[in-house]
A and B are shown apart, each in its own frame.
Chain A
Amino acid sequence: MIGQVLGHCRVVSKIGEGGMGVVYRAYDEVLHRDVALKVVKKDPHLDTSSSERLLHEARASSSLSHPNICTIHEVGENEGELFIVMELVEGKSLRAMCADTGLPPESVLRYGVQIASALARAHDRGIVHRDLKTANIVVTADGLVKVLDFGLAKQVGSGMFDATTRSFVSIQDASSMSGTLPYMAPEILRGEAADYRSDLWALGVVLYEAASGCLPFEGRTGFEISSAIMREVPKPLGPPIPPGLWAIVQRCLAKEPMQRYQRASEVQAALEAVQSAGIVSPAPGPDLGAPKTTVLHSVRHAHVRSGDFLLLVGTTKGAFILRSNAQRSRWEVGGPYFHGHSVYAMAYDNRGGQHRIWASTASYWGTLLRSSDDFGKSWTNPQQAPIRFPSDAGVSLKNIWQIALGRPEEPNVLFCGVEPAALFETRDAGETWSLVQGLFDHPHRPRWMPGNGGLALHTIVLDPGDNQRMYVAISAGGVYRTDDGGLSWTPQNQGIRATTMPEKYPVFGQCVHKIVMHPARPERLFLQSHWGLYRSDNCAENWHDIANGVPSDFGFAMITHPRNPDSVYVVPVESDEFRCACDGRLRVYRTRNGGASWEPLSRGLPQKRAYETVLRDAMTADSFDPMGIYFGTRSGQLFGSCDEGRTWRKILEGLPSVVCVRNAVVGDASGVLRPTSPKVSAPSQQTKSLPKSKTRRPKG
């Protein structure tokens, strides 16, 4: 073969030989460059049409142009033998580099990002690799990754590939399969077709092997390996592997394709997020010549352990995570996360044993829903915004105002309330989101009016006893309720005054600022409106004024007590024009009798020149007994009380404007308080009318 010319390439020397064929170094005499030339062995099992398909596949792969994909220059046939002319890649295989001990995490991330990027490009072009493995990945001397043999596996068949990784004679003979057993996804072993997600499984195996030097699923025989792939969970990767990287590997290795990432670009983004979170490995790895991972020294992380108490604080310039213990007296501050982005919604999701923090981020560059499984050390940064209006909706996402967890029995369900006013839901833990069309198509929607903060659906309240019933609040549209899981919605604003419309009690259009429900009495709701405090005892069928003794019934924030359904907290502000604490005195007001009377709680809060505003989601109550209560202000101060509001302490100051405060007890499944309650039947019309109050109100 040496000296022979195939196409316009003269064979120079033999590089290696494998199951698929022989690889030569060759010289392209037309383009004057060194190339690799692979001569594919003749396979007696391949008929003419199979050969043609292989040729077609190789030609399709040759269209891939990407810095991390070994380029196929030419495909041809010579005396019945297929030959492939490709880029000559000189370097070491990832398999050789990670043998035995694995690579330092920085290198795993750096190479992982490049491999995922290569897969993303190929998948975009409809090409599945089907045999991704560390032996097929070469790293050049300057740290550039090259993925080899794209798209060749399917038509060639596993028998022709270099399956030196493991021997598995019985599987090899199965003509429907291709690839290398330890990297094969469960669905392939079940006889299903490989798709993009099978490549993402293989990527998970590659990352695991690169990080540890070991394969995640091992065995002495093909049967044992298959059995491990189908049934076993890989041994966890501990330090120095960052939890974020381990979480990515786990998700790639989910047994069901639907549970994995759905796109290679998502894996790439997740790896980049871990990279940007900063990782410092204890000892430098062997590849010092390669570029370093960026370490963000300016971001501090809270060191969170099980049993810790957390405050999640969203501001107009980023998010913070504050950690304390049950005493809630000393605080460790993590952040700022998402420098310069406004974070209007945060949530802690511990359903199913997870520790996921959700955050919405909005900036010049759009609005994203992001999550962290390691308490802020790494965050998802999806390439494509997961929450987006359909292209024919005529509107674009401006902000995400609320993240609401679904019911405990549906741990993969979440809702997001957004601006412009609309509701989105996910049923696969945030993988895919869809617009709740029933509300979006509501005939009232074109007549909803934006408030000062925009036209936002900012509040979502789920009925814990009726899984078809849910409430939303829109500024300025009012309260809407569904009793059929979101298919249809009715306005529920009877009795709520509209101060900004000619008709004082319209069917909809009120600027409702917040509604809350006590889970033990889901038929009862409280409401803070743009001028007005209300209660409903009949599932929002009608509302009654309860502003009995507050200095102003204008305000934003409102919370319930975790145990007492008659107890509600608000922070009145002076007026629509002057949205500051009344008389410059920062006071939380509490009712313990369902709104019949209110009392100020101000001990420890500034009472002079405190022109503060507490926005609608900037107050939260914990589940301790006695209850803790926390709020942040537009001036960036954070206050807390561990005795139900009797006394207050300043926790932090100097933050950007606080727009969201949430709390969580780590590892405590009861952190989401959802006591079971009987299903509420038809709303009762019998409600107790409460006495009217002397409350500061707008004119007109």
Chain B
Amino acid sequence: MPVTFHIPGALREFTAGQSRVQIEHSPKTLAEALSALWIIYPGVRDRIATEQGHVREHVNIFIGDENIRYTGGLASSVPDGCEISIVPAVSGG
């Protein structure tokens, strides 16, 4: 089952305008799913992750309804057919 990424508006210029991107093969972990995403749309990578490979401080990723910060981070498992949302955190002034 493919997994589907929900892309926030700020990043759609790097996904040819698409708000949903499907990853055809079945990634086991979030790291694998993200790698597949930025093979297709490389511009997304540096917006989501730091050069040390960590998810940016003010970017939240949800697998279904779960924030990955509480489910194992990039090692979080990705169920078949799940939806992954990338959203900016609530912060700033």
Measuring CB to CB, which residues of chain A are less than 8 angstroms from any residue of chain B?
67, 113, 117, 120, 124, 265, 269, 272, 276, 363-366, 381, 383-385, 388-391, 393-397
Q: Does B13 contact A (CB under 8 A)?
A: yes
| Interchain residue pairs A-B with the least CB separation, the first 5 | A396-B50, A383-B43, A365-B47, A364-B58, A388-B51
Partner among B13, B39, B50, B88 whose Cβ is within 8 Å of the Cβ of A364: B88
Residue pairs across A and B with Cβ atoms less than 8 A apart, 22 shown, are A67-B16, A113-B16, A120-B42, A124-B39, A272-B13, A276-B13, A364-B58, A364-B88, A365-B10, A365-B88, A366-B46, A366-B47, A383-B43, A384-B42, A384-B45, A384-B46, A385-B46, A388-B46, A390-B51, A395-B52, A396-B52, A397-B50
Check if A364 sits within 8 Å of B59, measured CB to CB: yes
Q: Does B1 contact A (CB under 8 A)?
A: no
Contact with A along B60-78 (1 / 0, CB 8 A): 0000000000000000000
CB distance from B10 to the nearest CB of A (A): 6
Tally of contacts, chain A with chain B, CB under 8 A: 60
CB distance from A275 to the nearest CB of B (A): 8
Task: Please indicate which of the listed interface residues A120, A365, A393 has the most CB atoms of chain B within 10 Å of its own CB.
Answer: A365
Beyond A364-B56, A397-B50, 17 additional pairs, beta carbon < 8 A: A113-B16, A265-B42, A364-B10, A364-B59, A364-B88, A364-B91, A365-B47, A365-B48, A365-B59, A366-B56, A383-B43, A384-B46, A385-B46, A389-B52, A393-B51, A396-B52, A396-B54
Chain A residue nearest in CB terms to B51: A388
Residues of B within 8 A of A67 (CB): 16
Contact with A along B1-40 (1 / 0, CB 8 A): 0000000001101101000000000000000000000010
CB distance from A435 to the nearest CB of B (A): 11
Residues of A within 8 A of B88 (CB): 364-365
CB distance from B27 to the nearest CB of A (A): 17
User: What does DSSP make chain A's interface, helix, strand, loop or mixed?
Assistant: loop
Q: If the complex has contacts A383-B42, A383-B46, A385-B46, are A391 and B53 also in contact, measured as CB distance less than 8 A?
A: yes
User: In the complex, what distance in Å separates the CA atom of A265 from the CA atom of B50?
Assistant: 19
Check if A385 sits within 8 Å of B52, measured CB to CB: no
**How large, as a class, is the contact surface on chain B?**
20 to 34
Check if A269 sits within 8 Å of B39, measured CB to CB: no
Chain A residue nearest in CB terms to B48: A365
User: In the complex, what distance in Å separates the CA atom of A117 from the CA atom of B43?
Assistant: 11
Chain A residue nearest in CB terms to B10: A365
CB distance from A385 to the nearest CB of B (A): 5
Partner among B14, B43, B51, B58 whose Cβ is within 8 Å of the Cβ of A396: B51
User: In the complex, what distance in Å separates the CA atom of A67 from the CA atom of B42?
Assistant: 15
Check if A265 sits within 8 Å of B43, measured CB to CB: yes
Residues of A within 8 A of B91 (CB): 364
Check if A269 sits within 8 Å of B43, measured CB to CB: yes
Check if B46 sits within 8 Å of A391, measured CB to CB: no
Q: Does B82 contact A (CB under 8 A)?
A: no
Task: Please indicate which of the listed interface residues A67, A366, A390, A395 has the most CB atoms of chain B within 10 Å of its own CB.
Answer: A366
CB distance from B19 to the nearest CB of A (A): 14
Residues of B within 8 A of A363 (CB): 10
Residues of B within 8 A of A385 (CB): 46, 51
Check if A381 sits within 8 Å of B52, measured CB to CB: no
CB distance from A264 to the nearest CB of B (A): 10
User: In the complex, what distance in Å separates the CA atom of A394 from the CA atom of B16?
Assistant: 32
User: In the complex, what distance in Å separates the CA atom of A640 from the CA atom of B45?
Assistant: 42
CB distance from A144 to the nearest CB of B (A): 11
Chain A residue nearest in CB terms to B47: A365
Chain B residue nearest in CB terms to A265: B42
CB distance from B81 to the nearest CB of A (A): 21
Check if A389 sits within 8 Å of B51, measured CB to CB: yes
Check if B52 sits within 8 Å of A391, measured CB to CB: yes
User: In the complex, what distance in Å separates the CA atom of A391 from the CA atom of B53?
Assistant: 8
Partner among B10, B16, B50 whose Cβ is within 8 Å of the Cβ of A117: B16
Residues of B within 8 A of A364 (CB): 10, 56, 58-59, 88-89, 91-92
Residues of A within 8 A of B52 (CB): 389, 391, 393-396
Check if A383 sits within 8 Å of B14, measured CB to CB: yes
CB distance from A149 to the nearest CB of B (A): 22
Residues of B within 8 A of A120 (CB): 42
CB distance from B69 to the nearest CB of A (A): 15
User: In the complex, what distance in Å separates the CA atom of A384 from the CA atom of B49?
Assistant: 11
Chain B residue nearest in CB terms to A396: B50
Chain A residue nearest in CB terms to B13: A272
CB distance from A653 to the nearest CB of B (A): 19
CB distance from A379 to the nearest CB of B (A): 12
CB distance from B43 to the nearest CB of A (A): 4
User: In the complex, what distance in Å separates the CA atom of A385 from the CA atom of B50?
Assistant: 10
CB distance from A575 to the nearest CB of B (A): 23
User: In the complex, what distance in Å separates the CA atom of A251 from the CA atom of B53?
Assistant: 31
User: In the complex, what distance in Å separates the CA atom of A269 from the CA atom of B42?
Assistant: 11
User: In the complex, what distance in Å separates the CA atom of A272 from the CA atom of B48?
Assistant: 19
Chain B residue nearest in CB terms to A387: B51
Chain A residue nearest in CB terms to B41: A383
User: In the complex, what distance in Å separates the CA atom of A269 from the CA atom of B92?
Assistant: 27
Residues of B within 8 A of A381 (CB): 13
CB distance from B46 to the nearest CB of A (A): 5
Residues of A within 8 A of B48 (CB): 365
Residues of A within 8 A of B42 (CB): 120, 124, 265, 383-384
Residues of A within 8 A of B14 (CB): 383
Q: If the complex has contacts A120-B42, A265-B42, are A366 and B13 also in contact, measured as CB distance less than 8 A?
A: no
Residues of A within 8 A of B56 (CB): 364-366
Chain B residue nearest in CB terms to A657: B93
User: In the complex, what distance in Å separates the CA atom of A390 from the CA atom of B14?
Assistant: 23
